[in-house]
Amino acid sequence: MVDSVDASRAGARLTVDLGAIRDNYRLLASKTKGACAAVMKADAYGLGMEQVAPALALEGCKTFFTAHLEEGIRLRQLVPEDCAIYVLHGPPPGTARDCFQYDLRPVLNDPGQIQEWRALARTLDRELPAAIQLDTGMSRMGLAPEDLLALSKERDWLAGVRPTLVMSHLACADEPLHPVNEAQRRRFEELRALFPGVPASLANSSGVFLGSSYHYDLLRPGAALYGINPQPGTPNPLRQAVSLHARVVQVRSVCDGAVVGYGAHHACTGEQRIATIAVGYADGWLRSLSGRGFAFVDGVKVPIAGRVSMDSITLDVTGIAPERVVPGSEVELMGSHQSVDEVAALAGTIGYEVLTRLGSRFHRRYV
Ligand SMILES: *Cc1c(COP(=O)(O)O)cnc(C)c1O
């Protein structure tokens, strides 16, 4: 978005509440006797790592996770030197030296990544810190139990590596009664015994709420920091961290039988008033919200009429007095009337996807 345009007149405004994110961090950290990290992948779930990471460092967060090496390199400039930064995907082949140079700790997920890190340690003739990730049942990332057991039979299999964390990731933590949770916890318990004295970490946001037996030494929340409910179906203990407001571009009266939008999916019954707002699927307002989603004008809920376009959405504002919806009027898409989780449910997805898709054309405001 062009900086020279006054924010009050711009197309749409995304407000990120850093105070809410800090409050959420404090709440999550208060659940454990151990430490609480913060997951920063995908630009802090779309909210802006540049602003979010320093805010959390001020709140006392000392450990951060990114997915990619490049994210870790960017994060290194944003938080104090004494903060540990882990790169969840580990070093891509041939990048161990970059990882080292930027003082990043790779999460070692397989025998090949362990070899790369050890090779660099030999070259530099020093021990290098890293996390070891164990696959306890998700089959996505981490050492398979059989690989770990085979490796650990070799003498000095980790020579050169100083494990600073042993971790695993839960597949079903948002379903507290799912038997996979307990199965993963038990497997983690068994396998981490191979790393005596090394701090352990298992819980993502939802895992924090599975009870203290899942907490170990370090919590690893992402979503809950950003206001996504870690326990779907129960009241959200966390504060909403984002709001999104669009502006009306045009209001039209359309008569009985007229159709609205691509595919002529919405046919008007009687005279209707249609307000077009300047946000579309290119801004991350998912096309699956076509004919299903809602917005709020002056606190009144109005339905999306017809399909979401690339740059605009048509709202049925028939129920609102004409003088209250005019070009320039503000429309809430997320905020006090509609949470990220509610939008996600209507779109047939999860809050994680809604946040990480929020586009680059908004005026971003940090409060
Ligand atoms: C994304 C991720 C997290 C954070 O998960 P949330 O559900 O967002 O709290 C923690 N650990 C790993 C390995 C992850 O990939």
- Ligand 1 pocket check for 89: Cβ under 6 Å: no
Can you tell me the distance from the alpha carbon of 281 to that of 312, in angstroms, rounded to the nearest whole number?
8
**Atom 10 (ligand 1) nearest CA:** 204
- Decide the pairing of beta strands 218-219 and 63-66: unpaired
Is 292 annotated to bind a ligand? Reply is: no
- Which pLDDT score, from 0 to 100, does residue 259 have? 83
Distance CA 326, CA 22 (A): 37
**Rounded alpha-carbon distances, angstroms, from residue 77 to 36, 48, 54, 150:** 21, 14, 10, 39
Decide whether any atom of ligand 1 lies within 6 Å of the 158 Cβ: no
- How far is Cα 232 from Cα 130, in angstroms, rounded to an integer? 33
Length of the chain equals 367
**What pLDDT was estimated at residue 264?**
80
In angstroms, the CA 11 to CA 311 distance is 10
| Contact indicator for 220, 65 with CB cutoff of 8 Å | yes
Tell me the pLDDT tens digit for each residue of 42-74. Answer: 999 999 999 999 999 999 999 999 999 999 999
Cross-strand pairs, 128: 161
For residue 260, give every residue at least 6 positions away whose Cβ sits within 8 Å of its Cβ, in sequence order, or none.
Answer: 254, 266, 267, 268, 274, 305, 306, 314
Given pLDDT bands bounded at 50, 70 and 90, which one contains residue 108?
Answer: very high
Task: Judge contact between 361 and 12, C-beta under 8 A.
Answer: yes
Average pLDDT score, the chain: 95
124-153 pLDDT per residue, tens = 999 999 999 999 999 999 999 999 999 999
SS3 291: coil
- Rounded-to-integer distance, Cα 337 and Cα 38, Å: 27
Residue 41 appears among annotated catalytic residues: yes
pLDDT, tens digit (0-9, with 9 covering 90-100), for 172-195: 999 999 999 999 999 999 999 999
Helix axes 69-76, 49-58, angle to 10 degrees: 60
